[in-house]
Amino acid sequence: MKTNWPFLFLAALIFSADPGLAETSFDPAARAKAIAPFVDEQTIAVAHVDLRRVNLGTVFGELGQISSTVSPDLAAEFYRQGGQGLAMATGTMASIMAVGGGEFYAVVSTADQPADNGKGLAFVCIPVTKTTNDEALFQMYKSANKHAFEAHRRIGDMLVIGSEKTLTRLASQKPYPRPELEKAFAEVGDTTAQYVLLPPEYARRVIREMMPTLPKKLGGGPSSVLTDGLRWAAVSVDLQSAITVRAVVQSTDARAAGALLRQLKTLTGDLAQNKELRRAVPNIDKVLVILIPKQVDDRLELVLDPENQGVAKVVTLLLPPVSAARTAARRMQSMNLLKQHAIAMHNYIDAKKTFPAAASRDAQGKPLLSWRVHVLPYLEQQALYEKFHLDEPWDSPHNKKLIAQMPQTFRSPMSKFGPEQGRANYVVPVGPGTVFEGLKAWGFRDIRDGTSNTILLLEVDDQHAVVWTKPDDWSFDPKDPKKGLGGFYEEGFLASLCDGSVRTFSLKLDAETLRRLFHRDDRKEIDWDKIK
């Protein structure tokens, strides 16, 4: 499903609060009445977001403090990237506010289903003000998902953005009373964002008739646990003075609420024992305990606020696996970049019959430019390559100006350097026995140990990164082949072999095995079972 209305909904979480936001008394009835003309029996969810009610300083400060308790490195990266995001958010906020889009509703309905890829499942309603610019707001939403947001129209006091079919229906739709919407808005209060789930009555009938017993993956038991236990549910997120989350589930009565709570505990217990989930989130059992609501008469309630440190506890438990998942994703990106460089090397050797030398040299043998410059044409960087004075060293007045134009392909996704700093994490091994030994350019026939047994390229951390145009790489030391390797990953380091394959090599490997991997023709066997 391509419907992407949550994109702008979630964007609310990064915008700064409007310091001039007028203090007004909260009227849940007025909020429900405003969206009532667009709600019918088939509406299953309504969200309301006020972008003006976000204090970015609060969000940034709290999350930064939490990340610092988990890992200093994680906190440093958070502040670095968060600062960049803050600058972007400031401009985005100004643009949205300037065209009157600070407040909006998102409605999910099955009225226009079935539809192509979810088109018509969701639409957006923006209260019209003096500053509302219909076309500008439409283009913003369309850029988020042109498939879902294909048209716009003013209907009453709302600018509605959605599919053509949806807008035609809404223009003549008669409102269907959903009194639970006002109750839900009243319960979660006047916060930054409110999400309300409204299970239609016809859905309850279908469940009772077609599924009297719940499947095992939902905990089993009678389906009345859901049909009676979940009349409506609401979640609010407040990002003003502190990060606060509140959730309410309204049941038919206290008995139904108790039955639903028991079902939730059974489900969370099963989830906590799920092996795949535990691998992804080792602390999932502790997270689920925090997220179990409490029964208050005929409803279930959950509050995560500064008083109980709920948000801090959940984020602290989730940050390590999230950080690990991000590292794994970046490792895959880095492996793809190493693959690109290996392919560029292969294309170079097809054209020149040898790999590039580690550096080009002048008539006196003085190093001029790195191999990274000479493979640019094989990385779709011909225009940049032609800017270099190839007969001048990397730090000549002319060539030095090109350092800041380093292609992103030479920078690891794990690097903290900006591209304009021109520091490359992808290097070749230079030294005795390597593919880049001495002044000579070596070819495939010189790799007598086999292309699948010899390292061609490797990734180094920022401490060992080099100026990309400079004839500088990783020096292979036969006495200490691990020196300068690793740093980004606990598992070891990434390298591409001469056949173009990319692997992660453990630093727990014995020195002799590593030595053999860097030699092109020592004629010694590689024990790949040991490496695996």
Q: What is the pLDDT of residues 255-284, one digit of tens each?
A: 999 999 999 998 888 888 888 888 888 888
Most confident of 13-27, 142-156, 402-416: 402-416
**Euclidean distance between CA atoms 112 and 206, whole angstroms:** 19
If you average pLDDT over residues 84-108, what whole number do you get? 80
Q: Are strands 193-197 and 232-239 parallel, antiparallel or unpaired?
A: antiparallel
- Both tokens of 96, joined, read 């949205």
Q: Are strands 429-430 and 474-475 parallel, antiparallel or unpaired?
A: parallel
- Residue 402: pLDDT band by 50, 70, 90 thresholds? very high
Which one-letter DSSP state was computed for residue 61? H
- Both tokens of 119, joined, read 């088109």
**Euclidean distance between CA atoms 190 and 52, whole angstroms:** 12
In whole numbers, what is the pLDDT of the chain averaged over residues?
A: 86
- Both tokens of 440, joined, read 């000579």
pLDDT of residue 119: 67
CB atoms < 10 A from the CB of 136, how many?
14
- Residue that wins the pLDDT comparison between 241 and 506: 506
Per DSSP, what are the bridge partners of residue 127? 158
CB atoms < 10 A from the CB of 190, how many?
19
**Euclidean distance between CA atoms 21 and 435, whole angstroms:** 65
What percentage of the chain carries pLDDT values higher than 90?
A: 52
- Residue 443: pLDDT band by 50, 70, 90 thresholds? confident
pLDDT of residue 117: 57
| Residue 127 φ/ψ, nearest 5 degrees | -60, 130
Which one-letter DSSP state was computed for residue 147? T
Buried b (16+ CB within 10 A) or exposed e, 393-431: bbeeeebeebbeebeebbbbbbbeeeeebbbbbbbbbbb
Cis peptide before 114 (omega within 30 of 0): yes
Q: Are strands 455-459 and 474-475 parallel, antiparallel or unpaired?
A: unpaired
474, amino acid identity: W
pLDDT of residue 13: 41
pLDDT at residue 380 above 90? yes
pLDDT of residue 12: 40
pLDDT at residue 2 above 50? no
Closest to 163 measured CA to CA, from 179, 145, 181, 176: 145
What are the extents of the domains in the chain?
Answer: 1-18+29-178, 328-531
Surface-to-core class of residue 158, CB atoms within 10 Å of its CB (0-12 exposed, 13-18 middle, 19+ buried): buried
**Euclidean distance between CA atoms 18 and 514, whole angstroms:** 59
CB atoms < 10 A from the CB of 97, how many?
15
Range scoring the smallest mean pLDDT among 118-122, 253-257, 477-481 = 118-122
pLDDT at residue 175 above 90? no
- Residue that wins the pLDDT comparison between 283 and 24: 283
Residues 6+ positions from 503 with CB-CB distance below 8 Å? 494, 495, 497, 531
392, amino acid identity: E
If you average pLDDT over residues 46-67, what whole number do you get? 81
pTM higher than 0.75 for the full model?
no
pLDDT of residue 377: 96
Report pLDDT digits (tens) over 326-364.
788 889 999 999 999 999 999 999 999 999 999 999 989
